[in-house]
Chain A
Amino acid sequence: MIRIANGQGFWGDWLEAPVRLVEQGPIDYLALDYLAEITMSILQKQKEADPKLGYARDFPPLIGRIQRRLIEREVTVIANAGGVNPIACAREVRRLAPSLKVAVVLGDDVFGRLDEFLAAGHAMKNMDTGEPLSAIRDRILSANAYIGAFPLAEALALEADVVIAGRCTDTALSLAPMIHRFGWKATDWDKLAAGTIAGHIVECGAQCTGGNCQVHWESIPDMANIGYPIIEAEHDGRFSITKHEGTGGRVSVDVIKEQLLYELGDPKNYITPDCVADFTSIQLKDAGPDRVQVSGIRGAARPATLKLSIAYSYGWKAIGTLVYSAPQALEKSRAADRIVRQRLLQLGLKFDEIYTEFFGVNACHGPVAVPNPDPPEVQLRIGVRGQDQKAVDRFTRELIPLVLSGPPTGTGFGDGRPPVREVVAYWPALIPRELIQTSVEVVE
């Protein structure tokens, strides 16, 4: 049996979680997930500004902080912290933790290969809209192939203490140690599917140990000290989900079911680079306090394509807010919204979209929100998105004047006008997998 913990569900997750995982009980592997779809484009820009950047900058200091524990307890770290510059990330880890052996997985970054792919006739059509990539070719900011667990397992075979990847799938971080330790083959579809589903359960960190849980959430103990998840994996594909003793949170069948359904598409066809997992085969069993056993998982052959994560510059957006108090808070907010829209129209400004929400009334649940006829206050929230940066910038100047020139009781403008942000959009596409060659390198 091996123990694989997940200490980071996204870049920005709780900084103490990975530290506590190595300190509060036994684990063999610590998986850390840093990358969302859009993260790669931010990192690409950082790398263009400074060739030593382009990775998750929280990661090297974390390894520096826990390096002694990693050695004492023989814990191996696997992270997709490399972003678009895994080697620079590895060098920084080596600088802060010189006694650790660090390996990187390369080959996911295809930013420099897109024209080669297009010339060879790969249209890389948007999987949602069907548009060919050529439509946005000059606006692309980053392009990466999602790679699977086998390249990570190769890096583990080099006896690295820290394995750093770029754009691998979140589930690969947990599956790789199972492949490495149990000698699973690339055609062991059921076992690979089991490891993939284990990875899916833990990839959002504490969301499978009681976080964001709707089942009796008020009774979930000690959420301030919530324990992050641990997979106890067996060589035959069975596994349990648990957390360290004495930590907060809850692991139960209900909690695990919620996380299994999180961001799920067709449950019979959960497609990864390693296999296609069948979520309708999963059997769950409560196996003691804070422990759920998972078994019965079936899988099918991996696809002939890999998914590309391409980020491109779409345009600009800004979102501004004002607050109106009772009485008639909603009516005043609606009047202010009408005035702003009329002024934008009079200025002749064009946007792709203007969208208004009334916080305290309908922002989250829209037309199905429970009616609240006289709320004590309402926050008016207006957003615009468009191609013209100047128009978006002008919009940001149209809210605060209403405090003096609009309906009464307008307030909440203390932060000044809202920032104009570049919109980086995501372009999912497919590419034949044989075009992507990965390699593994130990960084001295």
Chain B
Amino acid sequence: MKIALSRIAHARSGDKGDTSNIGIIAFDARHYPVLVREVTADRVKHFFGEMVKGNVERYELPNLGALNFLLHEALGGGGTLSLRVDAQGKTLGAALLRMEIEVNESEIGK
């Protein structure tokens, strides 16, 4: 079945120049493998579409049940150059939490 990522994870996002970083964290460490399987760099790139001009990198932090994504060329130039209201990507984590993922009922429990 399909669920929103926000059902099993929370997030925080920020910037480094024109790169936005999004940390995705499983509420329950048992769901970390679901994140690793479902929230791939390709899917994140596809989800944001034209918003992310560069590539997306993913890093794994199993000790925190978390994934770290770097979205390159995602902030309209970043820092002081950007003309966007969210030049620091502070809202992009909340956006990503709306992405739908495919899970078995048994693996996420009640």
Contact = CB atoms under 8 A, between A and B. Distances in A.
B66 to A, nearest CB: 6
Nearest to B47: A368
Interface residues of B, number: 44
A314 B77 CA distance: 12
A366 B16 CA distance: 20
B85 A385 contact: no
Contacts of A264: 21, 23, 68
Question: How large, as a class, is the contact surface on chain A?
Answer: 35 or more
Interface of B: 10-12, 14-18, 21, 23, 25, 27, 47-51, 59-66, 68, 70, 76-77, 79-81, 83-86, 90-95, 97-98
Question: In the complex, which of the residues A215, A359, A368 has the most CB atoms of chain B within 10 Å of its own CB atom?
Answer: A368
Nearest to B26: A257
B85 A359 contact: yes
A280 B59 CA distance: 10
B43 to A, nearest CB: 13
Contacts of B63: 280-283, 296
B29 to A, nearest CB: 10
A428 interface: yes
Contact of A381 (B11, B49, B85): B85
B80 to A, nearest CB: 5
Interface stretch (A88-96, A143-151, A409-417, A419-427): A419-427
A405 interface: no
B49 A368 contact: yes
Contacts of B91: 364-365
A424 B81 CA distance: 8
A370 B68 CA distance: 24
B75 to A, nearest CB: 11
A213 to B, nearest CB: 8
Interface of A: 37-38, 128, 212, 214-215, 254, 257-268, 279-284, 296, 314, 317, 319, 353, 355, 357, 359, 363-370, 381, 383-385, 423-426, 428
B80 A262 contact: no
A364 B63 CA distance: 31
Question: In the complex, which of the residues A259, A260, A283, A357 has the most CB atoms of chain B within 10 Å of its own CB atom?
Answer: A260
Given A257-B25, A368-B47, A423 B62 contact: no
Question: In the complex, which of the residues B47, B68, B94, B97 has the most CB atoms of chain A within 10 Å of its own CB atom?
Answer: B68
Contacts, number: 129
Closest A-B pairs by Cβ, 6 of them: A261-B23, A383-B83, A355-B83, A258-B12, A364-B91, A263-B14
Contact of B80 (A265, A357, A363, A424): A424
B51 A366 contact: yes
A101 to B, nearest CB: 37
A186 to B, nearest CB: 27
Given A267-B59, A353-B83, A384-B83, A257 B66 contact: yes
Nearest to A369: B95
A355 B12 contact: no
Given A282-B63, A368-B95, A263 B16 contact: yes
Nearest to B79: A426
A266 B67 CA distance: 11
10 contacts: A128-B18, A265-B70, A284-B64, A364-B91, A366-B50, A366-B51, A368-B48, A368-B98, A381-B85, A425-B80
A297 B27 CA distance: 22
A357 B68 contact: no
A352 to B, nearest CB: 9
Contacts of B95: 364-365, 368-369
A438 to B, nearest CB: 25
